[in-house]
Amino acid sequence: MTDELSHSPASLPNARWSAAAPFLVISCVGAACFAVATIADPSTLRLFSEMLIYLTLAQLWNLLAGYAGLVSVGQQAFVGIGGYAFFYSTTTLGIHPLLGLAAGGLASLLAGAASTIFIFRLRGAYFAIGTWVMAEICLLTVAIIPELGGGSGMSLPAKIVRTLGATGEQRASAYFTLAALLATVTVTAIYLLMRSRIGLAMVAVRDSERAAEALGVNAARIKRMVYVGVAFATGFVGGLIFLMKLRMTPDAAFSVLDWTAYVLFIVVIGGVGRIEGPFIGTVIFFSLRAVLADYGPVYLVVLGCVAVVAMLFAPKGVCGLISRWVGFEVFPVRRRTPSTSQE
């Protein structure tokens, strides 16, 4: 393994701080979320909820592409499946919205497991195209099912909405709490996964599948496990997204721009293959959106130009630049071989 797998906390000059930093950061973020939930107005809570949702989606895509090497442009499939499973389970089956979120995750897990039978026969760019085709098939399928509202979509009844709060302020606080919990669990789980032997095997498969298999790693099982796990979490997020929106249509649920293109921008700008990257990318994305949202198509043009410039001059993202300048990582998941650490 090269230095790209490197940097255990013990090999860094600030090793003790590096070991404690991830959990300290997570604790501080959790405390900040609690403070925001108690003092912010509903519109601010919804904005922060949206930021946390995009942070979670970016972390999941970063795990899939940055760490496992599975570049997908069809994650909107699991957002849409999770959203529709949530709506159907709560409106038709009558289950509680919180259980409906789990139902959305389970539906996406099953869809992800079934899709691996076909798309895992593809490699490289063909894999990416295959995931997008799968998402389009899901969109067209949902649009012709009358029980799911067809092309006109579905709306969430008021009695279901009120289970999360009688007033708009209470519901906004509930949405924010769910988004914060989901983001915290996702970041913590990814960090612990990448510090485990499974995470090391995952990165080894990404760098060289043949070499990893020669060392005894079951590459196919690792990739399927990551893909299905990300599908489950993305479906859970999809349910939360449309619980907040209260209405969904096939085009909105399976939007490649909203649930994949923006997420890719966040990860690329922040830094692919780094847990810190989506944090920075999310802040940059929402800052640009706030400044440029009134300019219509210019907003998308600027996002594209920023992404191209970042890929050309900062291929490891803003996080990579900061890490190179300060020599420090908040979430150190890479490892250094004994021979390298002694140099």
Domain residue extents for the chain = 3-255
CB 235 within 8 A of CB 76: no
HSE of 265, CA atoms in CB hemisphere, 13 A: 24
In percent, the amount of the chain with pLDDT more than 90 equals 57
- CA angle (252, 258, 260) in 5-degree steps: 120
Cα separation of 154 and 2, whole Å? 51
Q: Tell me, what's the pLDDT at 295?
A: 82
Q: Tell me, what's the pLDDT at 2?
A: 41
The secondary structure of residue 330, as a DSSP letter, is S
**Is the pLDDT score of 304 beyond 70?**
yes
Q: pLDDT tens digits for 168-208?
A: 888 998 999 999 999 999 999 999 999 899 999 999 999 88
Q: Does residue 342 sit in helix, strand or coil?
A: coil
Cα separation of 182 and 330, whole Å? 20
Could you tell me how far CA 157 lies from the centroid of its own chain?
Answer: 28
Q: Tell me, what's the pLDDT at 234?
A: 97
